Copies of this chain bind each other. A is one copy, B any other.
Amino acid sequence: MEEEFISVYKCLCDLTRLRILNLLKQAPLCVCHVQDVLGEPQPKVSKQLSYLKRHGMIESVRNANWTIYRLPNDPGPLLDGNLKCLQDFVFQESVFQEDLKRLDRIDTSAACVPEDA
């Protein structure tokens, strides 16, 4: 059981992963949108999404050609608590704010955007 929170903190010590979590806190997203917002190469984004999923921080659903990633509907208290903590202290940083601005400009009518939140 000790491994669980170690695992959570490992997920939080990479900037790319933090940026991803910041985005997914807003809405479920497909890989290409995450990629667009972050401006990072596709394999890099995909690998970090895999990493987060492998450690139980996010979930994924295949939607036709796209894979939609999202925060779990019921995140455990540890993940939930840490996300709130991030919200308060970390996600205020400009990197994350800039990401959110770019996220707003994304075409949400694109085919890959899931109907249900």
Residues of B within 8 A of A14 (CB): 6
Residues of B within 8 A of A13 (CB): 6, 9-10, 12-13
Q: Which of B5, B82, B93 contacts A2 (CB 8 A)?
A: B93
Does A104 have its Cβ within 8 Å of any Cβ on chain B?
A: no
Q: How large is the interface on A (under 10, 10 to 19, 20 to 34, 35 or more residues)?
A: 20 to 34
Within the assembled complex, what's the spacing in Å between the Cα atoms of A85 and B82?
7
User: Would you list 28 pairs from A and B whose C-beta atoms are within 8 A, ordered by A residue?
Assistant: A1-B93, A2-B15, A2-B93, A2-B95, A5-B18, A5-B89, A5-B90, A5-B93, A6-B13, A6-B14, A6-B18, A9-B9, A9-B12, A9-B13, A10-B13, A12-B12, A12-B13, A13-B13, A77-B88, A77-B89, A78-B89, A78-B90, A81-B85, A81-B88, A81-B89, A82-B85, A82-B89, A85-B85
